[in-house]
Structure formats: structure tokens, C-alpha cells
Structure 1
Amino acid sequence: MQDVLADVDAWVARGDSVALATVVETRRSAPRPAGTKMAVNARGEVSGGVSGGCVEGAVVTIAEDVLAGGEPQLLHFGIADEEAWDVGLPCGGEISVWVERYEP
């Protein structure tokens, strides 16, 4: 997480808008623990990861929406969620991810 925050600080210092995604809940065999963070800036750069690669693409898409003025969102991915299988969450776990605009 330290690297993510360092990247966020650097991006903000150069004037970039940043969205922050945080794993807020896990169930069963989740790929990353609660508290794990991923940041996305307005240039499309990504730092960190919330699922070890399984759902990052879907989270980046929502982060881009948030950066474009959309509302913060709580995302849920799990074995009962068709979208989770589509984006590749095969571990049998569930994660909830909060995506918001970072305000320093």
C-alpha cells in the first residue's frame, strides 16, 4: 500500500486527478485483504491492485467514471456475480471495493 500512496502523492503534486479503490470487505478465499488499495489517475496510470489481476479492469472503468464526475461506487465481485466470472474472479471468494475520487 505504501507504493500506492507514494504514487498518489506524486500524481497529485503534478496536478492529476486521482480515484482511489479500496477493498472494504472480503468473504471466503479473497485474493487481497480488506484495506488493499489501487489508484487510477486521469492519465490512465494505475498503481496497486485490489484483486491480484482478477477484477482490475472493471475497477479501472468505474474509477474513470468517477474521475469524469460520476458518483463514488461500491462494487461487489463474487462467485454468484456473473460479472465477476466474466472478469475472472475464479478463487471462490467475494470482495467489495469502494471507488471514490481522492481529495487531498
Structure 2
Amino acid sequence: MAEAAAEVASVLDQAAAWLAEGRQVALATVIATWGSSPRPVGSQMAVDDRGAMAGSVSGGCIEGAVVHEAQQVLTTGEPRLLSFGVADETAWSVGLACGGKVELYLEAIR
């Protein structure tokens, strides 16, 4: 539990540093998982307007798609609910062929 709290704090610290530098930042949070999922609920990933990342929401298999969606959130300011899993036609392309599903909430932070 302490390790997970330290990881979230590290992601939020990096997001705060980017904001202090004048960058725009989006935060993705795992809000639900089903079946085999590499990261637990509460895992977070920050993405800045340059595409830099801190943290992880999937152990690497969907991060590219999340970065792409984060850029859209930073452009529009509208949060998004993202789902990735075997029932999704993008499951194989993002690397979730293991039978799991993950749902994320993605929002711009200020």
C-alpha cells in the first residue's frame, strides 16, 4: 500500500513540476479493471503537452493510446472516459490480448 501511495505521489509531483514550468498536463486514472489487468485501480499517469509521461496505467500496453487521447483532452479541455479490453476492436493493437479490461478517467489539470 505504501508503495502505491509513493508511486501516485511521484506522478503528481511530476505533474506539478510540469505545471510550474508552464506546460499543460492531463492526468489519467485507472477507475475500474476486469479480468487480467497489469495495473490496479488508482494507478495514474500524467501526460504533458509535449507528450512526456510519468507513471503508468497499464504496464506499457495502452500508454501510447492514452497519450494520444490526452493531447485531445488538453486541446478541448473536456475530460474523457476511456475503455480498453478484449471486447474492444483495438484490444490487440494496444496490447490487451491477455483477457483483461481497464477503464480510465482522463482529465486536464490546472
Normalised to the residue count of structure 2, the TM-score between the two structures is 0.88
CA distance in 2, matches of 1:2, 1:89: 27
Corresponding residue SS for 1:82 = coil
Q: Which residue is 1:21 aligned to?
A: 28
Say whether the 8 Å CA contact 1:23–1:35 is kept in structure 2.
yes
1:96 has 2:100 as partner? no
Moved over 3 A (4+): none
Structure with the higher fraction of residues in helix conformation: 2
| 1:53 and 2:63 aligned | no
- Percent of matched pairs sharing the same residue: 54
Tell me which residue corresponds to 1:66. Answer: 73
Q: Is the 8 A contact 1:31 1:91 kept in 2?
A: no
Q: What is aligned with 2:9?
A: 2
Q: TM-score, normalised by structure 1?
A: 0.93
What is the count of residue pairs matched by the alignment?
103
1:12 to 2:15 alignment: no
What is the one-letter code of the residue matched to 2:103?
Answer: S
